[in-house]
Amino acid sequence: MRFWLKVIRTPEGVLVNVCDEDLLEKEFREGEIILRVPKHFYGEELVERERVEAALREGDIISLVGEESIAVAVELGMASWGAVKRVQGVPFLNVYRL
């Protein structure tokens, strides 16, 4: 499994965006809720799991879309499946590490 990853470093912290490879550039709708997975936000580099793990460890704000992406954060103890939301069955989660 590969993932799309974008890491944004600012003076305020590190933003890490990760999505499952097959979800990039897709849009999901459920009523008035829209989940977009745009390339400019998630699609900087296509990487393996090890790179995602390293990026998640340094992230202050983390945006995850997809079963596999969220599973990595859960396995690292950074997230919980109980906090996951879904749109059209597609899971997404934001993690804030203060």
* pLDDT tens digits along 16-57: 999 999 999 999 999 999 999 999 999 999 999 999 999 999
State the DSSP code for 97: -
Using CB atoms within 10 Å of the CB of residue 33, give its burial: 0 to 12 exposed, 13 to 18 middle, 19+ buried.
exposed
Band of residue 98 on the pLDDT scale cut at 50, 70, 90: confident
CA atoms of 6 and 86, how far apart (whole Å)? 21
Q: What is the CATH number of domain 3-96?
A: 3.30.1860.10
CB-based contacts of 32, cutoff 8 Å, min separation 6: none
Q: Where are the domains of the chain?
A: 3-96
3-state secondary structure of 55: helix
Q: Is residue 7 over pLDDT 90? A: yes
Q: Which pTM was predicted?
A: 0.96
